[in-house]
Amino acid sequence: MITDGTTSHPLFTPDHEALREAVRRWVTDELAPHVDVWEQEGFPDAVFRRAGELGFLGLHWPEQWGGAGGDLAASIVFVEEVARAGTAALAMALSVQTDMATPALAVFGTDEQRDRYLRPAIAGDQIAAIAITEPDAGSDVAGIRMRAVRDADDWILDGTKLYITNALRADWMTVVARTDPGAGHRGISLFLVDTHLPGISMSKLDKLGMRSSDTAEVVFDGVRVPSDRLIGETPGEGFSQLMHQLQYERLVAGAACVGHADWVLDQTVAFANIRETFGKAISNHQVIAHKLADAATELAAARSFLYSTVWRVQQGEYPVAEISMAKKFCAQVQNRLIDDCLQVHGGAGFMEEYPVARAFRDARLQRIGGGTDEIMNEVIAKRLGIVT
């Protein structure tokens, strides 16, 4: 690790640092040795089961449901360390389980729903996905078209979801659907949907990066879902439930960016110290040394801003603008840093033989998923009182 920011920030307690060491051992011993194979074949479902066995999938969920009863910082530590595995796809897939598909269930669900869905997700016995994006609606959540129509004791779901991570391996999904077509964002609801139900079909998508994880198009054709799978007391609460969880999802995404970028920088410094040109290691050329120094400086700034924002959340604040800033800035820093690191590798960086090539492909999604740079700027601008 280039800087010592993770061991000196007041956000973290000795328990957090012990967790960091445990996750890093798991990553080093059980994940990193296999990432090259998984890039071609996809990583196995056993990764979720093992994470559950180790207690990593419910770090900030209540002990009542099998969680560790920890805080948001624990989840930040977990995702940041998994992102150092050599492929960003693992951090993405696991954080879908821990911080995207489950938060609305954990906070707004019934005890019966938590027992049926949250408990096995925390244990790693079931895999979860979240189905928000559609062919014509992504960042514009209020534009969701998927319909859920009440029919006696069931809801009938019709529509298509796109770019759904974990879909092909998921046992269930948190699905965003429109229950009132004339109510705008107030007509959106969340449902817990078992993936084995009749009427659900999936198609695997071919991606630029994050290739060891699965992503799919999911079609719902007259899928009958029991009424007790609605999250919340009444229909129409889905938008506010999503906005609550998206803030935490964005902080976790920032952690994945920081962890991944830090690992790439480590790899690049090691490369620069052994690669020679003009009779000396390229790290001894001032232009290379300064490029890496600038990258490390910007990464330290991104990490510090992320941690300070998480700290504010843990003090009971809800700093929406800063959360959006942190997500956007961490993703942009990650992309700039990896681009510079690839440049330092020269022609080698364009070869799949070197991990920076995979990192370059993987990183690009972070400026899109969880809220694009542009959407983050819209959120920030509104908080500044700017009308756009």
Which DSSP state fits 43? -
To the nearest 10°, the Cα dihedral for 234, 238, 244, 245?
Answer: 120
Give burial (CB, 10 Å; 0-12/13-18/19+) of 93.
Answer: buried
Choose, from 39, 80, 134, 249, the residue flagged as catalytic: 249
Q: Quick one: CA dihedral 208, 31, 10, 262, positive or negative?
A: negative
Cα distances (Å, whole numbers) of residue 263 to 229, 251, 338: 40, 19, 10
Query: For this structure, is 80 an active site residue?
Result: no
Q: Where are the alpha helices (DSSP H) in 195-285?
A: 238-274
DSSP code at position 117: I
Residue 344 · residue 271 · CB < 8 Å: yes
Measured from the Cβ of residue 102, the count of other Cβ atoms closer than 10 Å reads 26
Please report where in the chains the tokens 């796809």 appear, as a residue. Answer: 89
Residues forming the active site? 249
